[in-house]
C-alpha cells in the first residue's frame, strides 16, 4: 500500500484549489450564509445591564454538532463581570477574589460561554436554550437553528447608560472555522408581547456577523466520493490520499491527545484485537475524542457513494450511500449537499429528507439531504450500522445521457465541507456498444460488487 508523496501533494493541491475557488468567505451555494450574534439590552441595572443574547444560524446547510458551540469575546474595559447567566454558562469562573458576598458568575476578561445540556431545571432555562450547543442548519430546522441566553453584566464602570461594546467575538465549534466581525450598533429590536398586542423595544442592540472558512477548520478534506453505475462493473473508488495517506502499519495505534502522529491514526479492520474499547475521560476542554479510522487508501472519515442504479424511460434512479469509517464518532443531524443539473427536475428521495437549495441561492441545481428523524438522522460510528442510504429519483432532464459521466454530481459536501471527487477521466464509461447491455446478468454481478464496495 505504498503511495507516493507526490500523489498526496497532488490531491491536497486539488482540494485546496477547489476550496479557493469557492472560498475567501464566499460560498456560491450559500452566499448569504452567516451566524449572527445579537445582543439586546433590555434593562439597566445600576452598575451595568441585562441583555438577551441570540445566536442565529442563517447558513442553509452548515450546522454545529455536539459537543457544541463556544462563544467568546473580550470585555472592552478590563473590569466587567457577569453577575448572572440564564440558559448558558461560562466555562470558567476566573478570578473573583476581589468580591465578597455575592460572587459573580464569571470574572474573566475573555469569557467563553457554552450552552446548558438538555433537561436543566425550568428556572435555568430561556427560550431556545439548553441543547448542548447543537445548532441546526437553517434548511434542516429553522426552529432549532437559534440559540439564546440571558446575561447580567456588572462593573461596566459607568453610572450612566453608555456601553462600551464587547470586542473580538469568537465562535468555536469547538474547533476553529468561524471568523467574526466587530460588534456594530444596529436599530433597536422590537419585541412583540405574547398576546401579540403590545410592542416593546430594546434599549440598545448590537450585532456581530460570523462566517465560515473551510481552510480554517481543517487543512485536508474530510470526505470523499466514489462512483459506480449499472452499466459498468468498475467501481471508481475514492481518490488515493483524498484526506490523508495511509501507512502500511497494521498495528492499531490509538492517539490519546490528537497530536500529529505521522499518519498513523488508523487501524486495520481485520485486526484480531478489534473491537476496541474507547477511553473516555471527563474534562473541560469539550474536545472530541481523537478520530480513529479504519485504514483505507483515501483515509477519509466519511465516504459518499453515488451509484447510478436504473434507467427508465422517463426517469432515472440513483442510490446514495454514506459510510462512516470513524470508529470514534457518531454524526448527528448529518447533511449532504449535492450539485447536479438534473436537480431542477428532482422527483423523490425515498429514505432521506430533501429540499432544493434553489429558493435562496442563485442556482437551481443543488439539493440538501439529511436523515429522517429517529430513523437515519444519526450516522453511527464505523461498523455494521455505520452507514445510511437512500435511493433518489430524477425525471429526465432534456440533457440526460449516460455518457461522459453526466449522471454524476459535480460537487458533494458532507456537513458543509467539500468532499474530494474522482477525477473526471475516471468515470465509469459506457460499454462501446450500449445497445448490447445485458442488463440482467450485469445487475446481479454489480449488486455483489456494490455490497463489497460498501464494506470498504
Burial label, 264 (beta-carbon count in 10 A; 0-12, 13-18, 19+): middle
Taking the least distance from each CB to ligand NAG, the nearer of 100 and 160 is 160
DSSP string covering 363-392: -SSEEEEEEPTTTTSEEPSSSTT-EEEEEE
- 428 counts as binding ligand NAG under rule CB under 6 A: yes
What span, in angstroms and rounded, lies between the C-alpha atoms of 152 and 44? 9
Measuring CA to CA, which residue among 88, 85, 6, 82 is closest to residue 47?
82
Q: Which of 84, 168, 297, 351 binds ligand NAG (CB under 6 A)?
A: 168
- 364 counts as binding ligand NAG under rule CB under 6 A: yes
* Among 8-16, 162-170, 315-323, 368-376, the segment contacting ligand NAG (CB under 6 A): 162-170
For residue 222, give the 3-state DSSP assignment. coil
- 268 counts as binding ligand NAG under rule CB under 6 A: no
Q: Which of 15, 58, 212, 408 binds ligand NAG (CB under 6 A)?
A: 58
Q: How far is the CB of 290 from ligand NAG (least distance, A)?
A: 12
- 209 counts as binding ligand NAG under rule CB under 6 A: yes
Print the binding letters for residues 170-199 with ligand NAG: x by CB under 6 A, - otherwise: ------------------------------
Residue with cell 471568523: 179
- 436 counts as binding ligand NAG under rule CB under 6 A: no
The footprint of ligand NAG on residues 81-140 (CB under 6 A) is: none
Cell numbers describing residue 74: 473580550
Non-local (6+) Cβ contacts of 190 within 8 A are 199, 200, 201, 202
- 232 counts as binding ligand NAG under rule CB under 6 A: yes
- 158 counts as binding ligand NAG under rule CB under 6 A: yes
Angle, CA 377 vertex, CA 349 and CA 63 arms, to 5°: 100
Q: Which of 100, 281, 433, 436 binds ligand NAG (CB under 6 A)?
A: 281
Q: Which of 74, 255, 311, 351 binds ligand NAG (CB under 6 A)?
A: 74
Q: How far is the CB of 110 from ligand NAG (least distance, A)?
A: 7
Amino acid at each position: 500500500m505504498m503511495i507516493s508523496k507526490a500523489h498526496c501533494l497532488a490531491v491536497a493541491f486539488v482540494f485546496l484549489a477547489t476550496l479557493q475557488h469557492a472560498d475567501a468567505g464566499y460560498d456560491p451555494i450559500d452566499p448569504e450564509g452567516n451566524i449572527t450574534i445579537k445582543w439586546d439590552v433590555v434593562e439597566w441595572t445600576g452598575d451595568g445591564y441585562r441583555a438577551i443574547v441570540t445566536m442565529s444560524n442563517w447558513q442553509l446547510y452548515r450546522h454545529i454538532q455536539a459537543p457544541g458551540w463556544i462563544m467568546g469575546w473580550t470585555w472592552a474595559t478590563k473590569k466587567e463581570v457577569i453577575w448572572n447567566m440564564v440558559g448558558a454558562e461560562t466555562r470558567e469562573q476566573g478570578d473573583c477574589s476581589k468580591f465578597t458576598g455575592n460572587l459573580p458568575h464569571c470574572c474573566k476578561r475573555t469569557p467563553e460561554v457554552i450552552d446548558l445540556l438538555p433537561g436543566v431545571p425550568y428556572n435555568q432555562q430561556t427560550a431556545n436554550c439548553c441543547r448542548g450547543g447543537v445548532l441546526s442548519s437553517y434548511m434542516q430546522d429553522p426552529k432549532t437553528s437559534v440559540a439564546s441566553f440571558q446575561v447580567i453584566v456588572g462593573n461596566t464602570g459607568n453610572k450612566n447608560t453608555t456601553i462600551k461594546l464587547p470586542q473580538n467575538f469568537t465562535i468555536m465549534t469547538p474547533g476553529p472555522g468561524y471568523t467574526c466581525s466587530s460588534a456594530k450598533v444596529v436599530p433597536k429590536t422590537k419585541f412583540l408581547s405574547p398576546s401579540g398586542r403590545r410592542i416593546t423595544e430594546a434599549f440598545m442592540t448590537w450585532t456581530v456577523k460570523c462566517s465560515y472558512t473551510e481552510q480554517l477548520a481543517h487543512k485536508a478534506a474530510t470526505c470523499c466520493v466514489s462512483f459506480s453505475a449499472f452499466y459498468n462493473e468498475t467501481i471508481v473508488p475514492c481518490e488515493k490520499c483524498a484526506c490523508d495517506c495511509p501507512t502500511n502499519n497494521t498495528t492499531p495505534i490509538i492517539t490519546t491527545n490528537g497530536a500529529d502522529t505521522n499518519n498513523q491514526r488508523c487501524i486495520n479492520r481485520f485486526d484480531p484485537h478489534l473491537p476496541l474499547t474507547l477511553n473516555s475521560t471527563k474534562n473541560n476542554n469539550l474536545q472530541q475524542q481523537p478520530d480513529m479510522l479504519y485504514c483505507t487508501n483515501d483515509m477519509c472519515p466519511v465516504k459518499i457513494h453515488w451509484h447510478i442504479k436504473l434507467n427508465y424511460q422517463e426517469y432515472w434512479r440513483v442510490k446514495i450511500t454514506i459510510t462512516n469509517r470513524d470508529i470514534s464518532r457518531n454524526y448527528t443531524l448529518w447533511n449532504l449537499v449535492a450539485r447536479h443539473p438534473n436537480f431542477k427536475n428532482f422527483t423523490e428521495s425515498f429514505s432521506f429528507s430533501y429540499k432544493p437549495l434553489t429558493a435562496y441561492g442563485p442556482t437551481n441545481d443543488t439539493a440538501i439531504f439529511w436523515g429522517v428523524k429517529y430513523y437515519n438522522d444519526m450516522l453511527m460510528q464505523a461498523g455494521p450500522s455505520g452507514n445510511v442510504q437512500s435511493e433518489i429519483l430524477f425525471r429526465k432532464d432534456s440533457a440526460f445521457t449516460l455518457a461522459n459521466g453526466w449522471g454524476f454530481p459535480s460537487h458533494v459536501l458532507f456537513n458543509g465541507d467539500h468532499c474530494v471527487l474522482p477525477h473526471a477521466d475516471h468515470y465509469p464509461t459506457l460499454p462501446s456498444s450500449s445497445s448490447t447491455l445485458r442488463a440482467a446478468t450485469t445487475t446481479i454481478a454489480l449488486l455483489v460488487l456494490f455490497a463489497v464496495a460498501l464494506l470498504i
